[in-house]
Amino acid sequence: MKAIASIDELPGSYLSPALISAFREDEALDVAKSVAPAISRLLSSSDKSAVDTLFYPDAFWRDQVSLSWSLRTLHPTSVISETIIPLIQRAEIEPSSIVLQEGQVRATQLPNGVSVVRAPFAFRTSKPAALCSAAFKLIRMKNGDIKVFTVTTSLKELDAMPWRALPLAIPVEIPPTVPKSLDVLVVGGGHGGLALSAYLKALSVNFAMVEKLPSIGDSWSKRYDSATLHTTRIFSGLPFISFPSDYPEFVPAKLIARYYAKYVQDLQLPAYPGHECVSATWDDAQARWTVTLDATHGTEVVSVRNLVFAVGTGGRLPIIPDFPGRDTFQGESLHSVTYKNAASWAGKRVAVVGAAATACDVAHDCARAGADTVMVQRSPTRVYPPGHVSAVLGVLYNTETPLEVGDTRAGEDPIVLQAEISAIVLGRLKDRHDPEYYDSLRRAGFLVTADGSTQEQTFCRGGTHYPDIGACGAISRGEIKVKSGTKIESITPTGIAFADGTTLDVDVIVYATGFEKDSRRSIAAVVGAEQAATLEPVWGLDLEGEVRGCWRPTGNDHIWFQGGEMQTMRYYGKFLAMQVAAEVAKVRPVPCRR
């Protein structure tokens, strides 16, 4: 499945505000009611002509598992009518279940000037028996016609595996060893594994979670000492139990680790740290995996129907570019994954190769420790000035908005449209910000970009951005020097040689050069290279604008991936959990692939 290089390659965008008329809030419900009968006919009778009549020609339909049993974005209307109608027919939507959620209807003026009415509907499918939702975004053309611009259909609950409230009122005894037979084994006990485990617990799935590190929370406690979240506390929490309200807005690693450990206790999750999944062999006759776990007390073997790899995007496999002469360096060199602090480097010359979030954190750490620090920047970094991330996230993630409401509003629209709004909002913040902030970085030699969306950075660039929590000031003041605008030619015994003919002599090189993005590589050692090669690529956006391989069918009905950013693991992890639960209950339809 091919990945796009940039969100700009995706077709479709918001239409010009000049083509439509704005809605008043007091007319939103009447507008929604006026199209409700047509929407009900569309969902129940599945007539192609209804799509052509009701939808704007350049419309979007995003399905989150409810009809396609995958993650799909269909565009334009001609593609919607050809693809979605057979799926509606297959699902057998119950006509009497299609109900406009009148209390949730809203008129909204988007930051780009487009006015929409959000008209959410509930409906039920018969195949499988499930509760779903459909959020229609309506526009009004200049001639008064009401048209559907976007619709997002989402799976909410399976009759076969209904949700139950967590934490459970009655204590549950967790076996001291991993049960020998499971429906699901979650591999990885970091943020993704914990979020998915909580959902599986709420769905009453027979599962366990294993983590190779000795303690739950070590995925953060063993990072560098100054590590902290770069997104806000409310935005970044796990499902059911958020970060404590007295934690700082940008939570430090030690508190994240404490939160994780208590989360496992409070939700009574079957979590087994100190257990590394070393192999998994599929038995066609039994339709199960035989999984070998290397535990601190010895080897455990368990039988599992479904494997979910929540090992972080790419499995946290560090990447160090194969620079010529890298092995000849006579000083200390390491990847940022093993960096802890710079306490022993005071007075030493340190080069940090990289210029995204981790590199900025490490360089700032080194400079504060008294090291002569140079950041080697190989490509421009998207920088968000202090306060900009909080301002953007705070619109939906705040103490007044329920977390699930924020997640729904943030995640329901097609990613290409999310990116368009994100770029506009961040662009306005940039335009109002002191230009000296950016100019001072550029004078220091730091290649900074200040335009574009967070979605572009997260899904297409794999990072290469930095929400500024202090390093930019150190760069502007010269406390962190920058070498940019030229390639690394080689690593020498005493430092780094560049293509422009200059050299940099250093005592320490820290490679903050990121991690493998495609998780197939990291699990090949577990399921075998041949099996891993049959799976969909993981991460990056496909040609529809959906994330590849993660939270959706992988090409193997019994292998799944959970990963991404903290909020996306919480939001999309819920859809992943319901897909896995449907497989366990044997009610999962064949997914509709692109």
**Biggest alpha carbon distance in the chain?**
75
| Nearest Cα to Cα of residue 522 among 535, 540, 541 | 535
Q: Please say if the pLDDT value at position 9 is more than 60.
A: yes
Average pLDDT, the chain: 95
Work out the pLDDT band at 517, boundaries 50, 70, 90: confident
How does pLDDT run across 452-498, given as a tens digit for each residue? 999 999 999 877 899 999 999 999 999 999 999 999 999 999 999 99
SS (H, E, C) 138-190: EEEECCCCEEEEEEEEEEEEECCCCCCCCCCCCCCCCCCCCCCEEEEEEECCC
How does pLDDT run across 253-264, given as a tens digit for each residue? 999 999 999 999
Starting at the edge strand found earlier in the chain, the sheet holding 480-483 runs 332-335, 508-511, 349-353, 372-376, 480-483
Work out the pLDDT band at 515, boundaries 50, 70, 90: confident
How does pLDDT run across 196-215, given as a tens digit for each residue? 999 999 999 999 999 999 99
Q: Which residues are paired to 290 by β-bridges?
A: 281, 303
Q: Please say if the pLDDT value at position 47 is more than 90.
A: no
Q: What's the confidence (pLDDT) of residue 48?
A: 82
How does pLDDT run across 118-172, given as a tens digit for each residue? 999 999 999 999 999 999 999 999 999 999 999 999 999 999 999 999 999 888 8
In this prediction, residues 366-392 reach a mean pLDDT of: 96
How does pLDDT run across 518-567, given as a tens digit for each residue? 889 989 999 999 999 999 999 999 999 999 999 999 999 999 999 999 99
Q: What's the confidence (pLDDT) of residue 116?
A: 98
Q: Which residues are paired to 185 by β-bridges?
A: 208, 307
- The reply to whether omega before 591 is within 30° of 0 (cis) is no
**Beta strands 495-498; 129-141: pairing state:** unpaired
Q: Please say if the pLDDT value at position 272 is more than 80.
A: yes
Give me the percent of the chain exceeding a pLDDT of 90.
Answer: 93
In this prediction, residues 423-436 reach a mean pLDDT of: 96
Virtual CA dihedral for 404, 407, 408, 409, nearest 10 degrees? 120
Rounded to 5 degrees, what angle do the CA atoms 161, 163, 169 make?
120
In this prediction, residues 276-284 reach a mean pLDDT of: 97
Q: Please say if the pLDDT value at position 316 is more than 80.
A: no
How does pLDDT run across 396-417, given as a tens digit for each residue? 999 999 999 999 999 999 999 9
Measuring CA to CA, how many Å separate 212 from each of 187, 195, 292, 300, 474? 9, 17, 13, 13, 37
Work out the pLDDT band at 380, boundaries 50, 70, 90: very high
292: left (phi over 0), alpha (psi -120 to 50) or beta: beta
Q: What's the confidence (pLDDT) of residue 315?
A: 56
How does pLDDT run across 432-443, given as a tens digit for each residue? 999 999 999 999
239: its two tokens: 């499902």
Place of tokens 């334009």: 76
Q: Please say if the pLDDT value at position 418 is more than 60.
A: yes
Go through the domains of the chain in sequence order and give each one's CATH number.
7-158 (3.10.450.50), 181-316+522-584 (3.50.50.60), 326-385+433-511 (3.50.50.60)
Q: What's the confidence (pLDDT) of residue 314?
A: 54
Q: Please say if the pLDDT value at position 329 is more than 80.
A: yes
Running DSSP on this structure, what letter comes out for residue 68? T
